[in-house]
Structure 1
Amino acid sequence: MRKPNFIVIHHTDQESCEQTYRTFALKRTQVSSHYVICDDGSITQMLNDLLRGWHAGNSSWGNVTDLNSVSIGIELDNDGEEPFSYAQINNLMWLLEHLSEKYKIPKQNIIGHADVAPGRKVDPSALFPWKTLADSGFGIWYDETKLNDLVLDDSFNPVKALKFIGYNITNLESAIYSFKLHFNPSEVSKKLTDKDKKILYLLELEVLKG
């Protein structure tokens, strides 16, 4: 038994919830998550919260090098190419509130699979509404009102900011790609733009706030 301190959000990349259930039931797949949320918003608990799942794989975030051991995995029934339904996101936020309160999980510890496995995973896709979640207190976002007028000092190091937020920068291009999937999904690439650098600066401030 362990106390979870992170929540990792995924999309299933399957055709249906039923297919996901079958995949999880196969021993050879060696994959399991704690919850599955279907397109209609229905929630199925697959694993006790206090048991270690097999959803994050080779992963890291900040100083944590094994997310499976410290996280709850939530799979959203989605193929990665379609928008997430209102019912699905609404019930996801209900579940996040329940789990966050129960286990005292900090809002900044609600992250995506792509965040913890850059270069290996891209879920929950660029269509996932991270800002909607952050506006309700789940995960972090930047103050968009400050973006346009922000002038960065020459001493600001965006790569250090990327690492400070939590990204593994061993493969920098992959880390940048995962960061942009989450925080600048309309301009996903492996290069940092001036806008990205401003976003990183503002995110660093959010992390410092706690």
Structure 2
Amino acid sequence: MALPVAITTEDKIKMLMREGINKNADWSEAAHYDIRKPNFVIIHHTAQHSIAQTIRTFQLEHTKVSAHYVIGKDGRVVQMLNDYLRSWHAGRSKWGNITDMNSVSLGIELDNNGREPFPDAQINALLTLLDTLKAKYQIPFTNFLGHADVAPARKNDPSVFFPWKRLADRGFGVWYDESNLVPPADNFNYVDALRIIGYDVSNLHAAIVAFKRKFIVTDVGKELTDYDRRVLYNLYRRYF
């Protein structure tokens, strides 16, 4: 009679890593991760020149970075870690009271150098993936963020070219009501509003720029205009 084969802890982890929820995605394993539970999705652009370069970056020992998914310009989805594993994509980051975003989030990298629009095929693939992740893990619509949201002093991805409104219209993230941009109340505190939404305001100018890069797009200066304050006020009221 054949003896049972012992399964090591390492083998169990490898099996778990290959049980990704996206069965149609290619598989290429990243090297850097811990175990964690997802409740946020953080979207990045790669700032590199090809999906192959990014995959290679996530497999080199010295880079110490990774993500759960990489999406190419043609819509190809590569899953690099199981969703339950903690990838190293957010770095030094903060959203609300959470100071370790890697432990609670899924990282999605879009093949884009940060200076170009995102092709429809890529965004359509992203939306399909987000549909699956949101349903699978019951991720709140407010918890779909960009890297710049959680690290405003360090990062600018996924850049002003990213279609946040298109995502929000599908239930991934928050957008403002363009038909109801009323002046803020007299006692409106824009710093508190940014903090309540989730931004780290310890570097206030960086938080303002991150907010404007995402919601204003055409002006990413360090000061809030009257229009910017109306947008912020509209968004702030959605959190009550």
Could you say whether these structures have the same fold, taking a TM-score greater than 0.5 normalized by the shorter chain as the test? yes
Q: Out of 59, 83, 96, which is 1:49 matched to?
A: 83
Aligned twin of 1:70: 104
Aligned to 2:56: 22
2:238 counterpart of 1:199:
no
Question: Is the counterpart of residue 115 in structure 1 residue 157 in structure 2?
Answer: no
SS of alignment partner, residue 85 of structure 2 = coil
The 2-side partners of 1:195 and 1:54 are apart by 37
Q: 2:40, 2:185 → 1: CA distance?
A: 33
- The answer as to 2:214 corresponding to 1:151 is no
Match of 1:91 in 2: 125
Q: Contact conserved, 1:108 with 1:207, CA < 8 A, in 2?
A: no
Q: Which residue in 1 is equivalent to 2:9?
A: none
Q: Give the equivalent residue in structure 1 for 2:209.
A: 177
Percent identity of equivalent pairs? 59
- Contact map agreement 1:35 1:46 (CA 8 A) in 2: yes
Distance (Å, rounded) in 2 between the aligned partners of 1:106 and 1:152 = 26
Please report the RMSD computed on the Cα atoms of aligned residues, expressed in angstroms.
Answer: 0.8
Q: Which residue of the partner structure matches residue 186 of structure 1?
A: 218
In the alignment, structure 1 segments of 5+ residues that lack a partner are none
Give the partner amino acid of 2:81: L
Q: Give the drift of 1:189.
A: 1.2
Q: Which residue of structure 2 aligns with residue 40 of structure 1?
A: 74
- Any unmatched runs of 5+ in structure 2? 1-34
> Where do 4+ consecutive residues of structure 1 move more than 3 Å?
none
What is the CA deviation profile of residues 49-93 of structure 1, one whole-angstrom value per residue up to 9, with x for unaligned ones? Answer: 000000000000001100001000000000000000001011101
Count matched residues. 206
TM-score (norm 1): 0.96
Cα deviation for residue 204 of structure 1 reads 1.1
Q: What SS does the corresponding residue of 1:185 show, helix, strand or coil?
A: coil
Task: Answer whether contact 1:8 1:74 (CA < 8 A) is retained.
Answer: yes
CA displacement at 1:6 relative to structure 2: 0.3
Is the CA contact (8 Å cut-off) linking 1:141 and 1:206 kept in structure 2?
A: no
Within the alignment, does 1:59 sit opposite 2:77 as a pair?
no
Q: Which residue of 2 aligns with 1:106?
A: 140
Whether the 8 Å CA contact 2:37–2:103 is kept in 1: the answer is no
Q: Larger Cα Rg: Structure 1 or Structure 2?
A: 2
Instruction: Say whether the 8 Å CA contact 1:114–1:121 is kept in structure 2.
Output: yes
- Give the number of the structure with larger relative contact order, counting CA–CA contacts within 8 Å between residues 6 or more apart: 1
| SS, match of residue 186 in structure 1 | coil
SS at structure 2 position matched to 1:144: coil
The offset of 1:207, in angstroms, is 2.4
CA-to-aligned-CA distance 1:129-170 (integer Å, 9 cap, x gap):
0000001111000100112xx122211111110000000000
Aligned residue identity for 1:189: G
TM-score, with structure 2 as normaliser: 0.84
The secondary structure found in structure 2 opposite 1:137 is: coil
